[in-house]
Structure 1
Amino acid sequence: MASWDEDGIRARIREMAAQDPERKRFGARTHQYALAPQLPETEIRTFEVSHGIALPGETGPSSRRSATARPGPRTA
């Protein structure tokens, strides 16, 4: 499995935002190319325990926290 490149992903999101100042790409007006705050490892672990699952962790805890913070529709 390829390693997680958090800095590269954040750079790409910044590039995409710069190329779409009017937010015309699908979903851009909703997510505004903004990342949600990272979840603490304790919150991820609590979720895993309460659902009886183990989220992929082979790339390290920081990637699991970052993966929760992708641009996307806000539901709250």
Structure 2
Amino acid sequence: MESWDEGAVRARIREMAARDPERERFGADTHRYELAPRLAEAEIRAFEESHGIELPMEYRSVVAEVGRH
């Protein structure tokens, strides 16, 4: 499983937000270049169980190590 550098990801998001102050890029009006807090492993498992799915490991690592929208 890939490990994410939360600081680097958040810095890149800040750069992207600075280049799009009017939030004109697709989806920017919704996500506003912001991430919600990281999820604990128990929260991820609970989501998977309640929806009867298994998230891809890459996505699990992002929401666990960086955050989510």
1:10-66 deviation per Cα after TM superposition (whole angstroms, max 9, x unaligned): 000001111111111111111111112222222112234553647527xxx864424
* RMSD of aligned Cα (Å): 2.9
Query: How many residue pairs get matched?
Result: 67
Q: Which stretch of structure 1 is more off in the superposition, 1-10 or 20-29?
A: 1-10
Larger relative contact order (Cα-Cα within 8 Å, sequence gap ≥ 6): 2
Q: Verify the 8 A CA contact 1:39 1:68 in the aligned structure 2.
A: yes
Equivalent position of 1:69 in the other structure: 68
Equivalent position of 2:40 in the other structure: 40
Q: Larger radius of gyration, structure 1 or 2?
A: 1
Under a length normalisation based on structure 1, what TM-score does the superposition of the two structures give? 0.61
Equivalent position of 1:74 in the other structure: none
Q: Percent identity?
A: 55
Q: Which has the higher helix share?
A: 2
Structure 1: runs of 5 or more not aligned: 71-76
Under a length normalisation based on structure 2, what TM-score does the superposition of the two structures give? 0.66
Structure 2: runs of 5 or more not aligned: none
